[in-house]
Structure 1
Amino acid sequence: KSYIRLFNVRPWSKYYWVALEGTEAAGLVAADGSGRLDGELKRPGLSNSVGRSSLSPRAGVMSEPKAPTPTPGDTYKGWLFKWTNYIKGYQRRWFVLSNGLLSYYRTQAEMGHTCRGTINLATANIAVEDSCNFVISNGGAQTYHLKASSEVERQRWITALELAKAKAVRMQAESGESHIAESIHQCKCDDRMYISTLRTLGNKVEDLSTCNDLIAKHGSALQRSLSELEGVRLGGDAGDKIRQVTERATLFRITSNAMINACRDFLALAQAHSKRWQKALQAEREQRVRLEETLEQLAKQHNHLERAFRGATVLPASLANTPGDSKGSVPGKGDVSDEDDENEFFDAMEDVPEFITVPADPKRSGSNVSGISSEIGMDEQSPQEVEPVRKRRTRIPDKPNYSLNLWSIMKNCIGKELSKIPMPVNFNEPLSMLQRLSEDLEYSDLLDKAAKCQNPLEQLCYVAAFSVSSYSTTVHRTGKPFNPLLGETFELDRVKESGYRSLCEQVSHHPPAAAHHVISERGWTLRQEIALASKFRGKYLSIMPLGTIHCIFEKSNNHYSWKKVTTTVHNIIVGKLWIDQSGEIDVVNHCTGDHCHLKFAPYSYFSRDVARKVTGVVSDKDGKVHFVLSGTWDEKMEVSRVMQSSRGGGGENGTDGAGTGALEEEPTSIVIWGIEREFLPRQTMYYFSSLALTLNEPEEGMAPTDSRRRPDQRLMEQGRWEEANAEKQRLEEKQRSVRREREREAARVAGPTEDGTHQDNYKAQWFERTEDPNTGEVTHIYQGGYWEAKEQGSWGTCPDIF
């Protein structure tokens, strides 16, 4: 038994392990374990048949199982376990190796119609992790972590993959040489010189690749042998170990010298022809840029046509799925056949272990979380059902179809702030910004459950889900809300239905800012001041909310704060309007130091990922991750407990760049929040949710500054848009005249400022401007008195704004 060097096979200068028994070659495989020699070994005195067996590169001896031979047509098939995500782990998949391509399917039946993924082995790297695991990657775009059922099965796959890769590389090199030769011939250049140079360069590159692989593998084998030698005591096996190390070192030295010589030759040729290759590369780059631009235009046209088709048809049936169906397709999430395992969500299993001590409300969640209610105490934790005192309305007048020349209005508005653009009501929806801000309470039951949590980390999960749920009503809401007038208010009294009272007031007009305060009888308080910075960019409109949201729980005294993400309205000029949310949210517990980092992934037409995806991790003050959140901001959020985590830089299969290192999650997760599937928003009613339909409903005892008393908004809801436009202009002019009078009064009392302008000394009616003790921001905090004034009907201090 020995290593021999065969010069009549490709690749050249590659060593093979040969075991001679009598007159037959019992085994002939690559010395590095990467492949075997196909064909017959012919030598005088030896048999022509060659037995093939695999070599364990770690031990350096022949192993018993035979390496597989691919089926006719270089095709190899079989079952492997593929890593999907931390929730489901390894899943059994059917893999097919054919013509240098490795493809996989969920079942064998899918081979005829649905391929889940493919890697070209010509540019792929194959790495062995342990006895049964190996990794195939093509440079970062695709990485498959695979596991075989046994070490023998893994070695069979590695052998087949190495053979297929070598053949694919040869075919690619030959086709590349042929294509380059034809191109040079067409350009009427010196054919012989270029073809000879290209062939020489190709051979040198192949030598470099082969030597590089051998150096890496022999180096690893040498390192293992040296490690084994260090642990060997002086005895009978010491001589064998030293002899083995010597052979490995000799091979490594020979290969290194060959690589150095090849590098020297390659460098000389590269320097001689570098300028020509740079010009050719620049031409190829320019052509690639042109092709990418053309492809992007085609993709945008396809996207526009697809959205136009969806808008012209009825709503997809997936929105009408039953609450327990979580596998139905979702509009705008791509074709199911193109989705990988990472793009799927599953409901929680009924035998899930104890996780979060407060159960999700099955009426809201839209999934089968009731299956775990018996284990975590549904009867003990559920809030008591209270019948509403009045029946709220369930519809509003249908939206009329008015035509409008959008470009004639928008062409002079590029770069201006949205609040300073005179917009007709044709772009609006019959709600004010104060009412849209109150829609954040659509899923206030999440805060009710959070108030009952004993564990602050579990409470943080519900608060994070609440921060995501506020965007669920915006997925189709492309209409612009009315800009509130200065001093305008909106109250939302839902004590008997949901246990809370909400009050909003417009506290500033330039820049526009609204203060919001919510007090709940179920143990929590919510306050925020949101100012909108918006810019029109021609093709899209960016809305950047400024300000911080605070949530305080009475029982635990935990104080949470977070900010909103950026909202983008696309296709402003041409195409169908659509909404996207992007950015990051950090929910911080100022009492314990715990925090949750949420990432809203922006939509990309070329991405295979789930549309409107949100991921996040919940960590303690030391940075240790305890929970992982995943889902979409328009449908649901799932949460799973982390059983083990390691600090580090994160990774592709980690936590989406959260910087928490490798995470090991529980195999099951629960749906902590889901949209209200019982209600289908209709396009003719501005895609309002069930709560939004009731926000502009008149009630007795409203303040004279309440948004429901605003005449232009009421006229628009009734479909009288021309009258609404005239009333809107009247209100805005009245507001300007009041402001000018206020500035003149301020100038008479205090005089003008240094720059010659007049200071607006407006003070809010129900909120007081002060500094927040936790964030240090100057904000407006509710000072009380509104609900007392409503009980007494005393509105004498309210300004006349309508």
Structure 2
Amino acid sequence: MVSEGNDNIQVVLTKPLSVDGDVAADYKAPNLVQRMLSLIRNIRPGSDLTNFQLPPLFNIPKSQLQCFGESAYCFSKNLLQQCNNAENSLDRFTSVVAWSISTTRSPSFGVAPYNPILGETHHVSRGSLNVLLEQVSHHPPVSALHATDEKENIELIWCQQPVPKFYGTRVEAEVLGKRQLKLLNHGETYMMNSPKLMIRFLPPRVDWIGKVKISCQETGLEAELCYITSSLLGRRGEHRVKGKIYQSSSMKTLYEVEGYWSSIVKAKDINSGKETIIYDAKEVFSELKTPIVKDLQGIWPTESTAVWSEVSKGILSKNWTKAREAKSTVEDNQRKLAKERVSKGETWVPNHFTVSDSKEDGWDCSPIQERVPPAPIVVPL
């Protein structure tokens, strides 16, 4: 969807990514051979790769900032509401574990979203949930997210910094940064991290791996989850997760958690042996709706869907020359602005977050505003 409004600002909105990272139905990536030939044509022997731009053939029509935001606001079943309305602390914690699993979405192999530019924003509302993201650093790439739900009295504060490392046949990206979920009605704050993203070349596949820890200091409950990739010959969709929920003071296990984050996850009560489905991906992802523009005049020039609109239009229409030229315009302008700041001795400061960086704890992003205002882009209910 393309819309024009504030000073001819255009936005391009596409369908959300599915749980398995399938690209929007209105876009189908060219085959891998075509993309590799395009990559070879864009690299000249002996050329300097410092400022090399990935051809748009390898991009999906979204920014990484949008993909990050979608994990918070694109869902069919509102698990955040379930977290808030659970009757007791253990049920709330179990619901938070299920919600954390629901934010796991795997990108498709061989394509990637745009790298967000410095200061890029993404502002979307779904019902009473208002979500605001900002790219607070470009080198290294750091994204910040703040979301508030006025009705449920819930707050999310996330900071994300992917750190990729190459291991010959695969790339593993550790996702640094703190993630907080606050259930303000209950005075509970849940701290958690993200699993690692693994891109394997032979056979080609993308998956989440590694450990996730979720803790709530107020209730003394903790969870450890392990995301496990399938074997080399494993089928697409085999995305295992297993772990436990336990009391931190006694280390007593209360529930064992096991299943597939792309389908069903169950929790087994250690005392009774009873198994309960705590997460069903089909319920969460069955009918994801594309956001729409509600207030054209309210869209900022820094909005992701506006910054990359010309590139996205080129990709969707398969006009690769137009897409490449538009992408070069965006990236060249950013390099120009960066040089101007250096020449003037200026330091860029985020508009919506205060940030700090320490060697021990990594990046920490704190929202400037107490509440996120309603957005000009909304997800239909």
TM-score scaled to structure 2, two decimals?
0.78
8 Å CA contact 2:169–2:200 kept in 1: the answer is: yes
Once the two structures are superposed, the pairs formed by residues 26-175 of structure 1 within 5 Å of their partners are none
8 Å CA contact 1:562–1:588 kept in 2: the answer is: yes
Question: Residue type matched to 2:369 in 1?
Answer: G
Q: CA RMSD in A?
A: 3.4
Give the Cα–Cα distance (whole angstroms) in 1 for the partners of residues 206 and 294 of structure 2: 29
Among residues 302, 316, 337, which one is paired with 1:705 in the alignment?
Answer: 302
- Partner in structure 2 of residue 780 of structure 1: 365
Question: Residue type matched to 1:551 in 2?
Answer: L
Q: Over residues 133-176 of structure 1, what are the superposed CA-to-partner deviations in whole Å (9 max), with x where a residue is unaligned?
A: xxxxxxxxxxxxxxxxxxxxxxxxxxxxxxxxxxxxxxxxxxxx
Question: Residue type matched to 1:525 in 2?
Answer: E
| 1:767 aligns to 2:353 (yes or no) | yes
Quickly say closer, same or farther: Cα 1:478–1:467, change in 2 above 3 A.
farther
Once the two structures are superposed, the pairs formed by residues 682-761 of structure 1 within 5 Å of their partners are 690-691=288-289, 694-695=290-291, 700=296, 701-709=298-306, 710=308, 711-746=310-345, 761=347
Quickly say closer, same or farther: Cα 1:789–1:436, change in 2 above 3 A.
closer
- Partner in structure 1 of residue 210 of structure 2: 583
For residue 439 of structure 1, give the secondary structure of its aligned residue in structure 2. helix
Residue 476 of structure 1, CA deviation: 4.3
Q: Over residues 252-276 of structure 1, what are the superposed CA-to-partner deviations in whole Å (9 max), with x where a residue is unaligned?
A: xxxxxxxxxxxxxxxxxxxxxxxxx
Question: Residue type matched to 2:349 in 1?
Answer: K
Give the Cα–Cα distance (whole angstroms) in 2 for the partners of residues 736 and 483 of structure 1: 14
Q: Over residues 80-113 of structure 1, what are the superposed CA-to-partner deviations in whole Å (9 max), with x where a residue is unaligned?
A: xxxxxxxxxxxxxxxxxxxxxxxxxxxxxxxxxx
8 Å CA contact 2:195–2:210 kept in 1: the answer is: yes
- Partner in structure 2 of residue 349 of structure 1: none
Among residues 66, 90, 113, which one is paired with 1:435 in the alignment?
Answer: 66
Question: Residue type matched to 1:535 in 2?
Answer: K
- Partner in structure 1 of residue 97 of structure 2: 464
Question: Residue type matched to 1:425 in 2?
Answer: P
- Partner in structure 1 of residue 12 of structure 2: none
| 1:557 aligns to 2:156 (yes or no) | no
- Partner in structure 1 of residue 137 of structure 2: 508
Give the Cα–Cα distance (whole angstroms) in 2 for the partners of residues 431 and 607 of structure 1: 29
Q: Over residues 734-754 of structure 1, what are the superposed CA-to-partner deviations in whole Å (9 max), with x where a residue is unaligned?
A: 1011011111111xxxxxxxx
Residue 501 of structure 1, CA deviation: 0.6
Give the Cα–Cα distance (whole angstroms) in 1 for the partners of residues 247 and 171 of structure 2: 37
- Partner in structure 1 of residue 118 of structure 2: 486
Question: Residue type matched to 1:488 in 2?
Answer: E
Quickly say closer, same or farther: Cα 1:395–1:786, change in 2 above 3 A.
farther
8 Å CA contact 2:124–2:375 kept in 1: the answer is: no
Residue 787 of structure 1, CA deviation: 5.8
Give the Cα–Cα distance (whole angstroms) in 2 for the partners of residues 716 and 564 of structure 1: 30
8 Å CA contact 1:485–1:735 kept in 2: the answer is: yes
Give the Cα–Cα distance (whole angstroms) in 2 for the partners of residues 679 and 728 of structure 1: 31
Structure 1: which 5+ residue stretches go unaligned? 1-330, 332-393, 644-664, 681-688, 747-759, 792-802
Question: Residue type matched to 1:704 in 2?
Answer: P
For residue 91 of structure 2, give the secondary structure of its aligned residue in structure 1. helix
Residue 767 of structure 1, CA deviation: 1.1
| 1:669 aligns to 2:275 (yes or no) | yes
Among residues 22, 26, 47, which one is paired with 1:396 in the alignment?
Answer: 26
- Partner in structure 1 of residue 177 of structure 2: 547
For residue 723 of structure 1, give the secondary structure of its aligned residue in structure 2. helix
8 Å CA contact 1:527–1:781 kept in 2: the answer is: yes
- Partner in structure 1 of residue 158 of structure 2: 528
Work out which of the two has the higher radius of gyration on C-alpha atoms and give 1 or 2: 1
Give the Cα–Cα distance (whole angstroms) in 2 for the partners of residues 721 and 713 of structure 1: 10
TM-score scaled to structure 1, two decimals?
0.39
- Partner in structure 2 of residue 353 of structure 1: none
Q: Which has the higher contact order (CA 8 A, sep 6+)?
A: 2
Q: Over residues 160-198 of structure 1, what are the superposed CA-to-partner deviations in whole Å (9 max), with x where a residue is unaligned?
A: xxxxxxxxxxxxxxxxxxxxxxxxxxxxxxxxxxxxxxx
Give the Cα–Cα distance (whole angstroms) in 1 for the partners of residues 71 and 42 of structure 2: 30
8 Å CA contact 2:157–2:180 kept in 1: the answer is: yes
- The number of residues matched between the two structures is 340
Give the Cα–Cα distance (whole angstroms) in 1 for the partners of residues 252 and 230 of structure 2: 30
Question: Residue type matched to 1:782 in 2?
Answer: P
Give the Cα–Cα distance (whole angstroms) in 2 for the partners of residues 634 and 726 of structure 1: 37
8 Å CA contact 2:261–2:281 kept in 1: the answer is: no
- Partner in structure 2 of residue 519 of structure 1: 148
Residue 483 of structure 1, CA deviation: 0.5
Residue 542 of structure 1, CA deviation: 2.2
Q: Over residues 640-699 of structure 1, what are the superposed CA-to-partner deviations in whole Å (9 max), with x where a residue is unaligned?
A: 2220xxxxxxxxxxxxxxxxxxxxx51x3221111236977xxxxxxxx834xx258786
For residue 348 of structure 2, give the secondary structure of its aligned residue in structure 1. coil
Q: Share of identical aligned residues, percent? A: 22
Quickly say closer, same or farther: Cα 1:554–1:637, change in 2 above 3 A.
same
Residue 768 of structure 1, CA deviation: 1.6
More helix by share: 1
8 Å CA contact 1:519–1:525 kept in 2: the answer is: yes
Q: Over residues 16-75 of structure 1, what are the superposed CA-to-partner deviations in whole Å (9 max), with x where a residue is unaligned?
A: xxxxxxxxxxxxxxxxxxxxxxxxxxxxxxxxxxxxxxxxxxxxxxxxxxxxxxxxxxxx
Quickly say closer, same or farther: Cα 1:695–1:400, change in 2 above 3 A.
farther
Quickly say closer, same or farther: Cα 1:625–1:501, change in 2 above 3 A.
same
8 Å CA contact 2:102–2:284 kept in 1: the answer is: no
8 Å CA contact 2:109–2:199 kept in 1: the answer is: no
Question: Residue type matched to 2:288 in 1?
Answer: S
More strand by share: 2
For residue 262 of structure 2, give the secondary structure of its aligned residue in structure 1. coil
Give the Cα–Cα distance (whole angstroms) in 1 for the partners of residues 171 and 132 of structure 2: 28
Give the Cα–Cα distance (whole angstroms) in 1 for the partners of residues 266 and 107 of structure 2: 19
Once the two structures are superposed, the pairs formed by residues 185-204 of structure 1 within 5 Å of their partners are none
Residue 405 of structure 1, CA deviation: 2.6
For residue 517 of structure 1, give the secondary structure of its aligned residue in structure 2. strand
Quickly say closer, same or farther: Cα 1:403–1:696, change in 2 above 3 A.
farther
Residue 781 of structure 1, CA deviation: 1.5
Give the Cα–Cα distance (whole angstroms) in 1 for the partners of residues 226 and 268 of structure 2: 17
